[in-house]
């Protein structure tokens, strides 16, 4: 990814990119992709009916992560209150998705991977909230 380079090239950043913000953006886009694949994999499982909640949470988490990654990338005019709200929404959604995927992780490797990635994204969003000013 080129997140650090492109954010640092922004005129208001003056060659600097906040490491926590960069990590958050990268984690959000990674999580969105992982959740999208996990949802699709769940749809291919024999017991798809048992995975309905997981599929929905995967899809919701992917959407929130995409929005969060996009908003966190636009630092020049983003209101700090709005930034904190979207980061908190991403933390909450990642936590919910991770919890549900963990329920299925023993039987489905894609759910284990997704749970791990959601946990990483939650942490990255928390770190970004701590570095926002």
What's the whole-model pTM score?
0.90
Which of 6-10, 21-25, 51-55, 113-117 comes out lowest in average pLDDT? 6-10
Count of alpha carbons within 13 angstroms of residue 14, beta-carbon side = 0
pLDDT in tens, 24-66: 999 999 999 999 999 999 999 999 999 999 999 999 999 999 9
Written as six digits, the tokens of 21 are: 């913000």
**pLDDT of 125:** 97
């Amino acid at each position: 990814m080129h997140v650090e380079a492109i954010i640092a090239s922004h005129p208001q950043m003056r060659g600097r990119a906040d490491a926590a913000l960069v990590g958050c953006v990268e984690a959000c886009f990674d999580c969105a992709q992982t959740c999208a694949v996990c949802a699709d994999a769940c749809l291919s499982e024999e017991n798809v009916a048992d995975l309905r909640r997981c599929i929905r949470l995967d899809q919701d988490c992917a959407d929130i992560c995409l929005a969060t990654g996009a908003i966190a990338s636009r630092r020049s005019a983003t209101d700090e209150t709005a930034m904190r709200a979207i980061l908190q929404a991403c933390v909450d959604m990642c936590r919910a998705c991770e919890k549900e995927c963990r329920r299925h992780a023993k039987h489905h490797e894609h759910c284990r991977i997704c749970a791990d990635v959601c946990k990483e994204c939650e942490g990255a969003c928390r770190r970004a909230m701590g570095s926002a000013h």
